[in-house]
Amino acid sequence: MKPTIGMCRTPSALLLAVLLFSSLGGCTKAGNKNPAAAQQQAGMGGLSQKLSALDSASWYLTAGDLDKFQPGRAMDELLDDVQWRGHLYMTAKPRGQSVSWLTYELLSGDPNEENGVWVGAIFVDGKFVKFVNQPPRLPEDEEVAVTSRGQPWRRPKPLKAGDTRFLVRAMDSEAVSIADLKQEVESKGPPPKQRVDPGLTAAFLVLKAMGAVPGPSPPATDQDFERNAALRDQFNAARLRVGMTEAEVEAVLHDQPLEAGEVDAGHYQIYGSYEAFNIKMWLHFSNILVIFREGKAIAISNVSAGNDWRLKLGQATADLPAPPGA
């Protein structure tokens, strides 16, 4: 239940407002956004049509795209057909077969509606096999409490770089039919209209006047969106394959690694950019972690980009060395 904050007339009431507002900080679920978060997540404006026509534009699909995902269809051909959209979680060989998991958000139409269905697309040996839901967590994946920017939150227990157990569980998961996915997307309907809580808004304005609420980040410019789109396409991990050499990976990405070192699984390299944009997660580019053994890629995964991305990667990876200069 969302707390309701009344008008602040006494110091104790104001303190309560501060505490409750702090507890809501960072929440970005549709229909439950604080004013600052809503401003930070502004849409793409007049660039929408232009950007959506580019390769790797986002990780969403419409219900009409689902029929392109026919079992046995070649991965490169299929991804080209959907303009290389998607978010590659990992590619590896957990059972002697090359397995890729791509995450999609299925929407009825508008990519800004934020009311979709999340699903994984599984490819084996370069061919589409099935859609699956998120596999259940194992006991060893339990969440742990951490602190980021002074705020407590929980995240899954760190795994070693190149851990492929998630892919094994995905391979073993029951397929979700295209008909069921279409029905689920249609049942979502349009997103609920955003409700404004007068009490919460009043508390926000009081706190802002006191200087207790940081101002929103500057909105992204047209140039930010265009640069981000170029980085999404350049560092689209779905174009990489296990078995590639370092030279082949660099040729596909047209870049050299930001960082290299050793983990338990082998030699790692991180590709991407330190740039960051005030852009929604489904549109922001990602960096790439590649594990090599005997000169060839054995595991490829997307990692976060943007502010504090290397810190977050280190928190989520048990055996990754501290970032350079830390």
Indicate the pTM of the whole model.
Answer: 0.76
Full DSSP string of 64-95: GGGGG--TT-BHHHHHHHTTT-SEEEEEE-TT
Collapsed DSSP state (helix, strand, coil) of residue 288: strand
CB 124 within 8 A of CB 114: no
- The amino acid present at 243, given as its one-letter code, is G
Locate 14 and state its tokens.
Answer: 């104001």
CA distance 54 to 279: 17
Q: Taking Cα atoms as reference points, which of 127, 95, 93, 87 lies closest to residue 296?
A: 93
pLDDT in tens, 239-286: 999 999 999 999 999 999 999 999 999 999 999 999 999 998 888 999
CA distance 200 to 324: 42
pLDDT in tens, 175-223: 999 999 999 988 876 555 444 444 444 444 444 444 454 555 688 999 9
Greatest distance between any 2 Cα atoms in the chain = 68
- What is the percentage of the chain residues whose pLDDT exceeds 90? 54
Report the DSSP pairing between strands 99-107 and 60-62.
Answer: parallel
